[in-house]
Structure 1
Amino acid sequence: MSMINIAERHKYILGKLHETGAVTVLDLCKELDVSAVTIRKDLKLLEDKALLFRSHGGATIDNPYTNDKPVNEKESIRREEKNTIGQAAAALIDRNDAVIIASGTTVQALARSIHPKGQLTVITGALNVSLELLRHPEIEVIQLGGHLRNSSTSVTGPYAERVLADFSCSKLFLGVDGIDLEFGCTTTNILEAHLNQKMMAAAQKTIVLADSSKFGKRGFGRICGLEEVDEIITDKGVADHLVAKLEEMGVKVTIV
């Protein structure tokens, strides 16, 4: 395929991007038989025209960087998908279970869907989650304390982290702002990411709840690599090639 001109290369790159959602410099070099320098220049030109977003070692069709939005604004986004994901997650809670629920609007949808079997203990740093659960007398809520973030109504900081060290739970239900195959699970706040890591250490299993718009996105704070996640519950908007890659990595993917 060598000796093709710049316009043909751009057409090929954009065609491939629309097909798979992401391309790598390495693959494009092989497929187009040109140097990495040439491909990087092509990607820069296409990014300048707002046709793609350059990422580490390649490019994506969607903006990979996610910003911190207030929780009330997030709640109205993809509400139906979040509710379905929340219901699927609630079905994983066993009789007399002890679980940790992190923060975010998808885990809030989980809290709304919980109808406890026997006694249930829930540890959470998120006020909106606690308020949903207080309606059930058979749920014991352990509210983590600390610095309250007004954009997410959840706490962060050393007080919350210290309390978690005393517990061992069966599952952590984790909401994230981004899932990237290389960079892993991320959130827009570094303190929240740190608390999430402590939650993972206090749970035997980590279950990520994320609608399909979170894939290919990167928040500022890295929580963990995907190899540390046991299961991801998402909606049918997630691309098949991503599901295949995640399953190769040993992550169970549940599509609702």
Structure 2
Amino acid sequence: MKNSLENVQSRRDRIVEITKKTDSIAVKALADQLGVSEITVRRDLKALNDMGQVNWHHGVVEKVDAESTQGNSLRSKIEQLKDSIAAAVPSYISDNSTLFVNSSSLCWRAINQLAVKPLTIITNNIRATECVRHPETSIILTGGEVRYPKESLVGTVTIQLLETMQSDYTLIGCDGISVENGVTTQNIYETQVNSTMIQRTKKKVICVADYRKIGVSSNYHVVDLSAVDVLITDSFANESVIHEFRRRGIEVVQVAN
């Protein structure tokens, strides 16, 4: 099963690469180039078109230009995916819990979704104060140095505060999560903040990430994969990687697209 999933993902990656190198290509020519049937290619193209990674119409495949209408459509689809992932978070958080929340945009969306529960939320995301919340919810900012443009709080003050606390849960977004390198981020300043949150968690670490982050390794290591209890992602995520995550004991939740 794993090899089959890897083959599907590899083929779809090749399709995206091929379309990036040409203005357009016919489905038949693409099938010939890949050495598979047109039916197989059409199945791949359906998934890639739904993801917004290619533009497939009338038997022709085109690359997606970031500045085009298709590019805008892709951004809209990703925003919808993030909303769906965020909406799944409350099911994994108990009422009256304390949780650490990092500064990712997906976690910010999740804070809004958590307005249905009374909670204590401790976060380094300044924008959390703009979120809707349950009347019995407290939002505590960690303090620290403000890093723009993300408006996250980082540095020694942030870490010192977190080290005086424990949470029931940590909700963390990332720039990559993979078997080889675990949870990673592009921002060196947030690495220790994120890892401290996870180390100070009593119950579950919940990672939220859309399909673009699954199987990806970014610049700076936060924690090994073994530190993650639950991963909430979407059904576009690389199935081979998801299979391996599950094999390693992570509860993977894939929301409908």
1:150-169 CA distance string (max 9 Å, x none): 12111111101111112111
Indicate whether 1:215 and 2:207 are aligned. no
| Aligned equivalent of 1:160 | 158
Within 2, Cα distance between the matches of 1:158 and 1:91?
33
1:192-225 per-residue CA deviation (whole Å, 9 max, x = no partner) reads: 0110010001212211000011123222111111
Counterpart Cα distance in 1 of 2:138 and 2:9: 48
Runs of 4+ aligned structure 1 residues displaced above 6 Å come to: none
How far apart are residue 137 of structure 1 and its match? 2.9
> How much does 1:228 deviate?
1.1
Equivalent-residue separation in structure 2 for 1:77 and 1:151 (angstroms): 23
Superposition map of 1:19-168 within 5 A: 19=11, 78-117=78-117, 119-133=118-132, 135-168=133-166
Q: Name the residue aligned to 1:249.
A: 248
Cα deviation for residue 18 of structure 1 reads 3.0
CA distance in 2, matches of 1:95, 1:240: 32
Post-superposition Cα deviations, 1:138-158, rounded to whole Å, max 9, x if no partner, equal 111111111111121111111
Quote how far apart the aligned CAs of 1:97 are: 1.1
Give, in whole Å, the separation in 2 of the partners of 1:222 and 1:252: 21
> By percentage of residues, which structure has more helix?
2
The answer for the alignment partner of 1:200 in structure 2 is 198
Deviation at 1:103, TM superposition (A): 1.1
1:182 aligns with 180
State whether residues 207 and 232 of structure 2, in contact with CA within 8 Å, keep that contact through their aligned partners in structure 1.
Answer: yes
Q: TM-score with structure 2 length normalisation?
A: 0.68
Is the CA contact 1:95–1:116 (under 8 Å) kept in the aligned structure 2?
no
Q: Distance in 1 between matches of 2:221 and 2:164?
A: 24
Matching residue of 1:70: none
Work out whether residues 207 and 229 of structure 1, in 8 Å CA contact, stay in contact via their aligned partners in 2. yes
- CA displacement at 1:170 relative to structure 2: 0.9
Report the AA paired with residue 187 of structure 1.
Answer: T
Residues 21 and 247 of structure 1: is their aligned pair in 2 closer, same or farther, counting only changes over 3 Å? farther
User: Structure 1 length normalisation: TM-score?
Assistant: 0.69
Counterpart selection for 1:170 from 168, 171, 179: 168
User: Unaligned 5+ residue runs, structure 2?
Assistant: 1-6, 22-52, 54-74
Alpha-carbon distance in 2 for matches of 1:92, 1:130: 22
- Number of residue pairs matched by the alignment: 193
Give the distance between the partners of 1:98 and 1:77, measured in 2 at CA.
Answer: 32
Go from structure 1 to structure 2 and tell me whether the alpha carbon gap of 1:77 and 1:197 turns closer, same or farther (over 3 Å shift).
Answer: farther
Distance in structure 2 (CA, Å) of the matches to 1:194 and 1:104: 15
Any idea what SS the aligned residue of 1:82 has?
Answer: helix
Long gaps (5+) in structure 1: 1-14, 23-45, 51-61, 63-74
Q: Describe the SS at the equivalent of 1:216.
A: coil
* Seq. identity, %: 27
The reply to whether residue 18 of structure 1 matches residue 10 of structure 2 is yes
Counterpart in 1 of 2:38?
A: none
